[in-house]
Structure 1
């Protein structure tokens, strides 16, 4: 088995035969080779099911196979024929299971029965749905009597719009806005930055804009692993000569070369398409400086054009008619020093000037970004600087141009639209009050970081998790896990076992729910649900597979059953009718949000879905100034917690492999980075390896540099030489979350700043690589791995 672990640079493109083999492997591993392949033909189709992976756009005219490698993996993972039954829990204590890694916790398959934790035996034992719901309701009622704010209602992006709407309503009828969700951990920065800049919380581009743009600016986004279907329009853009300029610390293969797996010619000839025309490896935490430098260079090109009698570069007519704050921003730009910008960005001046030169000639530019911008202390200002750059040339509110945040979870945006948010100002509370005859709470609730702080402080009794793996996803695991055990009630409504479910409070439940791909049959027949993609389009989704167990219930029914038992009867809140006929929920949503969700039940089946109202696309700016705002940052320091230029302190970013989706790990290989058989690695520049007297393949211990009295370290990582900027290192999420302080988050949004953690790396004595790579794997899995080596 030791031979399985290898580190060899990957020379191939994204897509191609590697993707095809990976898909075949996981379909076979989950024992769904034939049925899974057939089901994938309905993936992201108009009358099929919405992807359970990322939130990339569902097109009106889909490809024959409208899925990517990772999307297909999430499908196979959900429709697996493996089952996690009561017999499994009888064989393993919770203490034993806590020693397993993320992959092997989910490997037993779909959960089949509701389970309650039994502290005496340290096992989960089966329980009836009736007794489970009744006890959970009793605890929620008791906590509500004490203080409604002592319960937290978390959800992940897997929830449908219908389930999200009921969940948000339930929380507000309960008496709080404690509705943290997975967007708090990734794109909350977007939800704070964009409203201040352009008056809406989501992007301003559609899939049609990709076909019209002649310039794409990528910052901190890796489509090859996180949204591979985006590579199809990018390939088309590259082939027609559009500029694709990338700023990212790592050279990600999906932004370098792509072979389309749906093209027989490309597959047979192994032809690939170059994607990025420029690729700049910005220093981790250097995006704000790099964007500032590009803006400054654009101004200098405009100055030169004015001096030489050339055509202006700045769109001064647009700036005058539609923006506010430009003069202040321009004066600030002129004061910035090029040497300082180069130092902070980790790039030469010529690199940023080359980007500005292309941008100045482009007629329509799309700015695309991901968590490489949002997960920094100054993430809000960095996103706003990208908007500033686009505004300078009028690249928002016209065809082929705009801002494009790429959401990572399939309906994380939709659930926010439906009211799953801690911010009461984002929800039409007056309308809800009139519609349902109650006074909604008006005070701000807990976001994810707030919820963690409240749990640590002992201010939370009950935590209900509608999907997700909260404890594994949040920072400071060594602090959170002990506090989590002190909760009175924890409820995990999930499809597969995960680490959060294995950290019980006084009373803990695992409640198995239907997956999105499964048939949802209720009193009025088979039901459909809906989701919102990253462009703000709403789509219908039909489950098509027999449920994994007859003991599963839908998330909608679960919320409705709790609503009936926890809350006072309200004739305006028909829990039973809603859970039997989801069309009635959509009618209620249309009443709450009439501007967008009128005629909801019909429009969600339109090819391409129906578009949310996005004012900025029409150059209507719903901001306090009534205009799009140039926002000048307070400083250029993207990470004010980062110590000075001490040579032994490195900037660590957390990474995802192409064999995972969020906290779900599909395997131990990261094909694009040439890592096979392990996730226990630290990617380092060879210069830093030599400078710190380390060795490639050697074992190291990583510790966080933070003067807060908390020891944070991760030991047993293998040093892998990699093409990262000097002074920067990378480690996999969620394993490296233990190094991220809870307080280290984006100012304004509280998104954990996982992309720039100050760390020191210490050499460890030579040990057994085999021992490290098998850590966290159950004995039967190690035997299977050894046999397959």
Structure 2
């Protein structure tokens, strides 16, 4: 409502966060300028037709827009960066901003904010000056005019929001790139100002907020101490493992028990074959699930499936109908209630299953009354209130309007570090140097897909029908490689001395920068190396996979596989669209 500039980096709202489109539409109607940095011209970044009739002032305009596809134009500028070209692009935009600031001091940078609230500004400015334009243009894949156009928009905005998703987080230099986003925001003082700031658009509400609640491999000592006092036990001192390290520990036998609380772990994880072998090395694999998925077929020596209530189903416990709470990307807490009758009277809720596991394994080694907690979820929220900061008066607040978790930088311009100030961070640009015949691949989703659940084989936003094993390539790259549209090819990822192969993909010429390719997730996860992860965060680099593309030699086999995939997806789609089950 208040932003006058929105920069969208590494995110495709139309496919991955469709509910965000109406918010962007309102921002656009309020006069905000929108800049999209993306290797592909995604439809959801170009225009939107609001599908909600109740949000139209004139209801007669709703059928006209829907039938004629006359939507609101969203972006004012699309910058077609190379894969992982976001840091060089931002560096170029800031370099243009610096030039204008030096011509007219105080006209671009928020000098008061920089002097009072930040450290490292002078060193960062020197780094900006020293960055070579040739490296910026090569790394970003943009022209100087395109970068200047982005800078012009930024310089005329007083309240900028930067949104990003996995298009930034799944690269080796992911953390450094996000720090560059913060540098960009700091220059204009776009922190702690209404209508401005960083906006990481993260996972769906089934998992959002897990770290807030303590689901983290490296929890702070302060949190663990409060948790121990609340439940009268001594939490373990040893740190746990993140997803990638967990897979490795299962593979070498250090972890023998796997419990998946929702999701399709095998399909979502990197290096599919390695992850499958890791799961098969376990003594026991167990999944708490609302519906069957492929992870259930790759098991340890013993396998369990624990069916549970979906979020859309009524959760009845001893004290009556219950509700849970969810946290969204903005740190907003909302209640979530089911409204459908459960598919079976025997289904338990996820909290009830977790409590049952605790009772069965801990027995008299715990003083927690698990039955009491499940009888009334308010009692769980009472414990959360006493352990987790920001949840004061939890039960009363969640029954009122939504509430925000505290954020000192946003609310008070206070920063949680030794200096008490925001830091400009200097990073070197990572310029991918590909050998002849190599391409940089990223994985993407189709519009008819929710995480690993595939509802259909058509991706009408990109003009793909009846199949998902496709590789998007620049038309000139297709020509130079001696390939043709629709030709079957095999993809080989090249990481150190390792090779991984994904067979029988069809070539799809597309408007994507030269040297860049895109494939669908999770079909191409087999190409993502388990050891290729982002510095510091250890996130799999699913958006920076170096591959080679070669013609398939077994075309008949590829055709048969395509037919099988069509039959499988149609069958799974019919099951996934069941009106009574929703995860």
Q: TM-score range by the shorter chain?
A: over 0.9
Structure 1 match to 2:86: 287
What are the Cα deviations for residues 663-707 of structure 1, in whole angstroms up to 9, with x where unaligned?
A: 111111112111111111111110000011111111100000123
Tell me, yes or no, if structure 1 residue 663 matches structure 2 residue 462: no
Which one of 27, 36, 57 corresponds to residue 246 of structure 1?
36
Structure 1 match to 2:403: 610
Structure 2 match to 1:430: 225
Structure 1 match to 2:107: 312
Which one of 507, 521, 544 corresponds to residue 756 of structure 1?
544
Tell me, yes or no, if structure 1 residue 732 matches structure 2 residue 520: yes
Q: 1:503 to 1:571 in 2, by over 3 A?
A: closer
Q: 1:673 to 1:780 in 2, by over 3 A?
A: closer
Q: 1:239 to 1:435 in 2, by over 3 A?
A: closer
Q: 1:384 to 1:779 in 2, by over 3 A?
A: closer
Matched-pair contact (CA < 8 Å) for 1:648–1:760: yes
Distance 2:229 2:30 in 1: 53
Distance 2:123 2:369 in 1: 54
Tell me, yes or no, if structure 1 residue 600 matches structure 2 residue 394: yes
Could you tell me which runs of 5 or more consecutive residues in structure 1 were left unpaired when the two chains were aligned.
Answer: 1-210
What are the Cα deviations for residues 422-475 of structure 1, in whole angstroms up to 9, with x where unaligned?
A: 112286111112112222122221100010111111111101111111121111
Distance 1:330 1:605 in 2: 48
Structure 2 match to 1:456: 251
Structure 2 match to 1:485: 280
Distance 1:484 1:236 in 2: 46
Deviation at 1:604, TM superposition (A): 1.1
What are the Cα deviations for residues 734-757 of structure 1, in whole angstroms up to 9, with x where unaligned?
A: 110000001111100011111110
- How do 1:544-555 and structure 2 match up within 5 A? 544-555=339-350
Q: 1:779 to 1:628 in 2, by over 3 A?
A: closer
What are the Cα deviations for residues 70-91 of structure 1, in whole angstroms up to 9, with x where unaligned?
A: xxxxxxxxxxxxxxxxxxxxxx
Aligned length in residues = 562
Which one of 390, 393, 408 corresponds to residue 188 of structure 2?
393
Tell me, yes or no, if structure 1 residue 590 matches structure 2 residue 382: no
Structure 1 match to 2:136: 341
Distance 1:288 1:755 in 2: 14
Which one of 61, 64, 71 corresponds to residue 268 of structure 1?
64
Q: 768-777 vs 354-363, which deviates more?
A: 768-777
Distance 2:96 2:569 in 1: 59
Matched-pair contact (CA < 8 Å) for 2:46–2:75: yes
Match of 2:390, SS state, is helix
Structure 2 match to 1:625: 419
Structure 2 match to 1:218: 8
Distance 2:98 2:327 in 1: 38
What are the Cα deviations for residues 501-538 of structure 1, in whole angstroms up to 9, with x where unaligned?
A: 10111110011001011111111111111111111111
Matched-pair contact (CA < 8 Å) for 1:252–1:672: yes
Structure 2 match to 1:193: none
Distance 1:751 1:427 in 2: 26
Deviation at 1:778, TM superposition (A): 5.5
Matched-pair contact (CA < 8 Å) for 2:457–2:569: no
- TM-score normalised according to structure 2 size: 0.93
Structure 1 match to 2:26: 236
Matched-pair contact (CA < 8 Å) for 1:226–1:408: no
Structure 2 match to 1:302: 101
- How do 1:89-168 and structure 2 match up within 5 A? none
Matched-pair contact (CA < 8 Å) for 2:258–2:279: no
Structure 1 match to 2:477: 688
Matched-pair contact (CA < 8 Å) for 2:457–2:566: no
- How do 1:500-511 and structure 2 match up within 5 A? 500-511=295-306
Match of 2:14, SS state, is helix
Structure 2 match to 1:46: none
Structure 1 match to 2:580: none
Q: 1:723 to 1:574 in 2, by over 3 A?
A: same
Structure 2 match to 1:743: 531
Q: 650-659 vs 496-505, which deviates more?
A: 496-505
Structure 2 match to 1:767: 555
Distance 2:233 2:346 in 1: 34
Q: Which has the higher helix share?
A: 1
Match of 1:760, SS state, is strand
Tell me, yes or no, if structure 1 residue 255 matches structure 2 residue 51: no
Match of 1:237, SS state, is helix
Distance 2:436 2:462 in 1: 26
Matched-pair contact (CA < 8 Å) for 1:238–1:275: yes
Tell me, yes or no, if structure 1 residue 514 matches structure 2 residue 313: no
Q: 1:546 to 1:688 in 2, by over 3 A?
A: same
Distance 1:763 1:579 in 2: 57
Structure 2 match to 1:325: 120
Deviation at 1:775, TM superposition (A): 2.8
Tell me, yes or no, if structure 1 residue 498 matches structure 2 residue 286: no
CA RMSD of aligned residues (A): 1.8
Matched-pair contact (CA < 8 Å) for 1:424–1:442: no
Structure 2 match to 1:367: 162
Distance 1:695 1:459 in 2: 47
Deviation at 1:625, TM superposition (A): 2.0
Distance 1:564 1:645 in 2: 55
Match of 1:672, SS state, is coil
Distance 2:569 2:167 in 1: 38
Matched-pair contact (CA < 8 Å) for 2:455–2:569: no
Deviation at 1:661, TM superposition (A): 1.0
Structure 1 match to 2:430: 637
Which 4+ stretches in 1 moved above 6 angstroms?
none
Deviation at 1:715, TM superposition (A): 0.8
Distance 2:486 2:153 in 1: 41
Which one of 523, 527, 541 corresponds to residue 318 of structure 2?
523
What are the Cα deviations for residues 196-243 of structure 1, in whole angstroms up to 9, with x where unaligned?
A: xxxxxxxxxxxxxxx111111110111111112211121122233321
Matched-pair contact (CA < 8 Å) for 2:227–2:387: yes
Tell which has more relative contact order, 1 or 2 (C-alpha 8 A, sep 6+). 1
What are the Cα deviations for residues 22-81 of structure 1, in whole angstroms up to 9, with x where unaligned?
A: xxxxxxxxxxxxxxxxxxxxxxxxxxxxxxxxxxxxxxxxxxxxxxxxxxxxxxxxxxxx
Q: 324-333 vs 259-268, which deviates more?
A: 259-268
